[in-house]
């Protein structure tokens, strides 16, 4: 059974810092991996999707990397802003069918 872990569970940084969120998974036979953003009481916004054949994806100030062999993905946020404050969820897709989610990292960026 796939298990997904996100570290740290919570993170508080001053505005402008570059930061890294970590995601690890136990079964490396994945189809793809998605990073989501969730604002309090709101739905999920897909940030980046990395297919199993890819090493990284970039969107604006966000960069996600994938190392299947070690069961790890990182989400890098450059020049953080208060508007980046949210919970970030990592989810692994094993068979094109269903996602297994990590517990999330709650990020606060202080002005």
| Closer Cβ to another protein, 48 or 109, answer by number | 48
By the rule CB under 8 A, 93 interacts with another protein: yes
Q: How far apart are CA 65 and CA 45, in angstroms?
A: 18
Annotate 2-16 with DSSP letters as a single string: --EEEE-SEEEEETT
Burial of 90 (0-12, 13-18, 19+ CB in 10 A): buried
Pick from 22, 28, 32, 85 the residue near another protein by CB under 8 A.
Answer: 32
- Compute how many other C-beta atoms are within 10 angstroms of the C-beta atom of residue 99: 17
Sole window of 12-20, 60-68, 76-84, 88-96 interacting with another protein (rule: CB under 8 A): 88-96
CB of 4 to another protein, least distance (A): 7
By the rule CB under 8 A, 97 interacts with another protein: yes
By the rule CB under 8 A, 98 interacts with another protein: yes
In three-state secondary structure terms, 83 is: helix
CB of 5 to another protein, least distance (A): 10
Residue 43 CA, chain-centre distance (Å), reads 15
List residues binding another protein (CB under 8 A): 4, 6, 9, 31-32, 34, 36, 41-44, 46, 49, 51, 89, 91, 93, 96-99, 101-104
């Amino acid at each position: 059974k796939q298990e997904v872990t996100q570290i740290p569970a919570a993170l508080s940084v001053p505005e402008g810092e570059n930061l890294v969120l970590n995601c690890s998974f136990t079964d490396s036979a994945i189809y793809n991996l998605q990073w989501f953003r969730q604002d309090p009481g709101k739905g999920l916004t897909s940030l980046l999707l990395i297919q199993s054949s890819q090493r990284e994806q970039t969107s604006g100030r966000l960069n996600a990397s994938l190392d299947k062999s070690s069961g790890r993905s990182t989400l890098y946020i450059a020049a953080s802003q208060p508007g980046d404050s949210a919970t970030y969820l990592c989810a692994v897709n094993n068979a094109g069918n269903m996602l297994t989610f990590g517990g999330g990292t709650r990020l606060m960026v202080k002005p």
